[in-house]
Amino acid sequence: MISCDSFFCYNYCMSWLKNFKEKFGPGIITGASDDDPAGILTYLQAGVVLGLSSLWTALLTLPLMYSVQEMCARIGLVTGHGLIHLIKKRYGRLLLWSIALISTIVITINIGADLLAIGVVMEKFTDLSRLIWLVLGAGVILSATIFFSYRMFARILKWLTFSLFFYVATVLYLNIDWSSALVSTIWPIHFQFNQTSLFLLAAIVGTTISPYLFFWQAEEEVEEKSSRRIFFVTKHELKDLKEDTFLGMLFSNGVMWFLILAAAQLAKLYGLGVIENFDQAALALKPLLGNAAFLMFGLGIIGTGMLAIPVLAGSIGYMWAEVFNWREGLNKIFRKAPAFYWVIILATAVGVALSFSGLDPVKLLVYTGVLYALITPPLIIIILHLANDKKVMGHKTNSRVSNILGWFSALVIMVLVLYLLFGKVFA
């Protein structure tokens, strides 16, 4: 017989889970898609090359990433428009076209890098050429994006991304010096500021605070507002938005922290100085999974890649739909927004073509983050301006904390970029 206390606990747990699930919105999807193959390889490379001394980057980027994504989400929810629409309206066509073109080029490179990662993994699994898997993978992603609900597609793929939690389990399984890990997380006491470390730092910041996530989350909040028929944005809805966004960014940076820690231990165990291929990247899971290490690593690459590519291509679709005032939205069927979907198809096709170029997949994935770092600061400044504009946001403009974190984000990335571009000149 079930006691009253047990019944009460059961109802309480079910109610808590239901409320927790309801908070899973655009922020959660954004956070999950941020840990794409480019992010995974960048964090693993940083852990191998820099060791525990790079753990502090996970703590640094969490508030910075959250502040920018929260602004983007709030702008979308309050105005009912994406960033590109507002940029066109407030700043004119020259800035609009510059942002759209440069962002499209860099995001398309990211699509190509993620597709190449999926192709390489599938080639290892099946011995079929990666080029075949590139085309098949792109076809599956496009079919799911166009003909099915992206949310349903994302729910399926999220199960594959759970393979990332094996990095958490591996770290807990190993004999980690937790005191050193904690100190390195709080303060970069052993971090050496040289060309290599700053290059990887730029890659980490770029792949974590990525422009495609800005466009995507703002647009997803617009779609969320439309589907839920929200006419007035209340304090309760803004509170839910903040919680959803924070949970997404916390998940993303938590995975990042464990990836770096696992890779740092990998370097000690196997004497690696740099990751040159995916087999070496998978070694981080070997102490826990043995011969199944590459299988779980590969499933993580496939799951995160297939989850992120629709977000990447979708962000390009949203951009150009707002440039030309086309109908847009992944909640619309193809014939209701054909131009929007054709842009997504074209962006993915160009990504496939880029993957045929024979570029090194590991290097391409890491360099993607550096390219993002180059274009991120001006976008953050524009987002800050929009989020503080009362004509755009009414009374829901930025708080002082949001402004401090936003400007600090732009400044940190700008300093990194300037050093990478001109550091040798002043050395």
Average pLDDT over residues 84-113: 92
What does the angle CA 138 – CA 315 – CA 113 come to, to the nearest 5 degrees?
Answer: 45
pLDDT over 90 at 169, yes or no: no
Q: How far apart are CA 31 and CA 99, in angstroms?
A: 23
What does the angle CA 205 – CA 372 – CA 33 come to, to the nearest 5 degrees?
Answer: 75
> What percentage of the chain reaches a pLDDT higher than 90?
46
245 vs 152, residue with greater confidence: 245
Average pLDDT over residues 128-155: 84
Average pLDDT over residues 408-420: 91
The count of residues in the chain is: 427
pLDDT of residue 379: 94
Whole-prediction pTM = 0.87
**3-state helix/strand/coil string of the chain:** CCCHHHHHHHHHHHHHHHHHHHCCCHHHHHHHHHCCHHHHHHHHHHHHHHHHHHCHHHHHHHHHHHHHHHHHHHHHHHHCCCHHHHHHHHHCHHHHHHHHHHHHHHHHHHHHHHHHHHHHHHHHHHCCCHHHHHHHHHHHHHHHHHHCCHHHHHHHHHHHHHHHHHHHHHHHHCCCCHHHHHHHHHCCCCCCCCHHHHHHHHHHHHHHCCHHHHHHHHHHHHHHHHHCCCCCCCHHHHHHHHHHHHHHHHHHHHHHHHHHHHHHHHHHHHCCCCCCCHHHHHHHHHHHHHHHHHHHHHHHHHHHHHHHHHHHHHHHHHHHHHHCCCCCCCCCCHHHCHHHHHHHHHHHHHHHHHHCCCCCHHHHHHHHHHHHHHHHHHHHHHHHHHHCCHHHHCCCCCCHHHHHHHHHHHHHHHHHHHHHHHHHHHC
* pLDDT tens track for 367-413: 999 999 999 999 999 999 999 999 999 999 999 999 999 999 999 99
Kindly indicate the confidence band of residue 241, based on its pLDDT and cuts at 50, 70 and 90. Answer: confident
pLDDT over 80 at 176, yes or no: yes
pLDDT of residue 112: 93
Q: Shortest CA distance to 321 belongs to which of 334, 344, 340?
A: 340
Average pLDDT over residues 81-94: 90
Structure tokens at 180: 């050193």
pLDDT over 60 at 14, yes or no: no
pLDDT of residue 10: 43
Average pLDDT over residues 45-53: 92
Kindly indicate the confidence band of residue 175, based on its pLDDT and cuts at 50, 70 and 90. Answer: confident
Q: Which residues contact 3 (CB under 8 A, 6 or more apart)?
A: none
Average pLDDT over residues 346-372: 90
Kindly indicate the confidence band of residue 13, based on its pLDDT and cuts at 50, 70 and 90. Answer: very low
pLDDT of residue 44: 92
Cβ(31)–Cβ(248) under 8 Å?
yes
Structural domains present in the chain:
25-426 (1.20.1740.10)
Average pLDDT over residues 295-324: 89
pLDDT over 90 at 414, yes or no: yes
pLDDT over 80 at 301, yes or no: yes
pLDDT of residue 101: 95
Q: Which residues contact 229 (CB under 8 A, 6 or more apart)?
A: none
* pLDDT tens track for 16-42: 444 544 555 666 667 666 788 889 999
Average pLDDT over residues 266-283: 87
Average pLDDT over residues 325-354: 91
Cβ(224)–Cβ(30) under 8 Å?
no
Q: How far is CA 240 from CA 233, 235, 293, in A?
A: 11, 9, 38
pLDDT of residue 342: 96
* pLDDT tens track for 287-297: 878 888 898 88
Mean pLDDT in the chain?
Answer: 85
pLDDT over 90 at 320, yes or no: yes
pLDDT of residue 319: 94
pLDDT over 50 at 6, yes or no: no
